[in-house]
A and B are shown apart, each in its own frame.
Chain A
């Protein structure tokens, strides 16, 4: 059981480049989310999804796009990378139930130069 798989683990981008962070889960979880982690700020929600075909914005959505065409996959797209997007990104998933644990991927460390 792989759980939540994020790729890549590390990435360096040049300003203005675009890329997609991949996230896949094999637990048939309805909910999926993307967070970014910055020093002294904890994890902040970028986008989330409550099911295939349904996405919504979180606290810091600017510069990022998401889609959820299947239950398993929830990719995060950076449209035009900026140095302010240098961060560690986490994908998480959980069941629909109220008191359910969120499972996290291993994170992607992204540097934009």
Chain B
């Protein structure tokens, strides 16, 4: 069975600085998909970035980028130029191929951006 682990329950960063959130996973599959979701206090789940395992290039979305290390089964999220609106819970998620859209989530990291 696949598992996803986020070992940092809480993190904080100063506004305009860079922060990295860690995520490791375990799977025996060779192809899969990885996601980072953001959950602000409104409770809404918002997709931040996604990565396909067979693509070696790290995904980037504006200030958000990932460091995908397939051999190490690591998928960290880097937030550059942190903004107050980045304050939220962040979840790492795994999706296998042809598994009915099921997502396996990590425990979450609560990020606080301080002015």
Residues of A in contact with B (beta carbons under 8 Å apart): 30-33, 35, 40-45, 48-50, 56, 58, 88, 90, 92, 94, 96, 98-102, 104, 106-107
Q: Is the CB of B44 within 8 A of A106?
A: yes
Which of B13-21, B62-70, B78-86, B104-112 contacts the other chain? B104-112
Q: A42-B108, A90-B45, A106-B44 are in contact. Are A100 and B101 (CB under 8 A)?
A: yes
| CB-defined contacts of B91 to chain A, threshold 8 Å | 42-43
| CB-defined contacts of B103 to chain A, threshold 8 Å | 33, 35, 43, 45, 92, 102
Q: Report the bound CA distance from A104 to B40 in whole Å.
A: 13
Q: Is the CB of B106 within 8 A of A42?
A: yes
Q: Is the CB of B102 within 8 A of A98?
A: no
Q: A42-B108, A99-B33, A101-B50 are in contact. Are A33 and B44 (CB under 8 A)?
A: no
Q: How far is the CB of B43 from chain A (nearest CB, A)?
A: 5
| CB-defined contacts of B47 to chain A, threshold 8 Å | 101-102
- Identify A58's interface contact among B6, B50, B97, B102, CB under 8 A: B102
- Identify A31's interface contact among B33, B52, B101, CB under 8 A: B101
Q: Kindly state the interface size class of chain B when it binds its partner.
A: 20 to 34
Chain A interface main SS type: strand
Q: Is the CB of B100 within 8 A of A56?
A: yes
Q: Report the bound CA distance from A101 to B97 in whole Å.
A: 13
Q: Report the bound CA distance from A102 to B36 in whole Å.
A: 11
Q: Besides A35-B103, A45-B102, 5 other CB < 8 A contacts?
A: A43-B103, A43-B105, A99-B52, A101-B50, A107-B43
Q: Is the CB of A40 within 8 A of B102?
A: no
